[in-house]
Amino acid sequence: MLAILSATVAVAAPTAGSDYKPYHNKDKYNDDCDEDWKSIWDNDDWKKAEKLFYFDTEYYVKATPDQVIGTDGVPAPGQPGAKGIFKYGINVAENTICYNITLSGVTGDYFSGAVTATHIHEAAKGKSGPPRLAFPNPKGPDNRRVSYGCLTGPFFVGTNNTAGIDNAAGFHVRQIVANPSGFFTDSHTSTFRAGAVRGQLS
């Protein structure tokens, strides 16, 4: 045992002229620590470096019943008195979207041909368009249904385009960042199939 230990120490020892740098160079170590801490304290660069806690853009959408448009492109009634706050944060490099959705006054069962009934669709204000992202439906009492978390691509919505390909196939969150007014968010219920509430991302 003792022999093995001393052999290990011998191998690890620095040799003159090599580029070996001792890990515990106290001065350098302390300098690095100060530098890291200073940058964490002084600015938000660490958010970009960590990726997970960085959003390129955030959206705060107030969804209302009067903005609902049917699949035929004609205004359709949403649920009277209902409202929704749909908050999104997008990390382009990670193709990730985090969401915190709160609905109030939305009652009854959700209904959609897609995997869930809470979506971001691609269409301008006053237009209809296909779902690109499907979020878990908000749950809870009718005065406060909530859903929050994050989704990372590749995405799937469960409805197909006319070519028989999923409406989320190849979708990347950078498309939203490039043109937020070309996207809206909504929740569909069995009574308000076109949407109980809807709002544009910008």
Ligand X SMILES: *[C@@H]1O[C@H](CO)[C@@H](O)[C@H](O)[C@H]1NC(C)=O
Span of 7-15, 46-54, 63-71, 157-165 interacting with ligand X by CB under 6 A? 157-165
* Omega cis (within 30) before 77: no
Determine if 20 is a binding residue for ligand X (CB under 6 A): no
- The minimum distance between CB 75 and ligand X, in angstroms, equals 26
Give, for 5, the enclosing helix (H) or strand (E): helix 2-12
Report, in this order, helix, strand and coil percent for the chain, each rounded to 5.
Answer: 20, 30, 50
Calpha distance 140→63 (Å, rounded): 18
Span of 63-71, 75-83, 156-164, 170-178 interacting with ligand X by CB under 6 A? 156-164
DSSP 56: S
**Contact characters 72-91, ligand X, x per CB under 6 A:** -------------x------
- Residue the block writes with tokens 């070996």: 20
- Binding residues for ligand X, total number by CB under 6 A: 8
Determine if 107 is a binding residue for ligand X (CB under 6 A): no
- The minimum distance between CB 125 and ligand X, in angstroms, equals 22
Locate 48 and state its tokens: 């970009």
Residues that bind ligand X (CB under 6 A): 85, 100, 102, 148, 158-160, 164
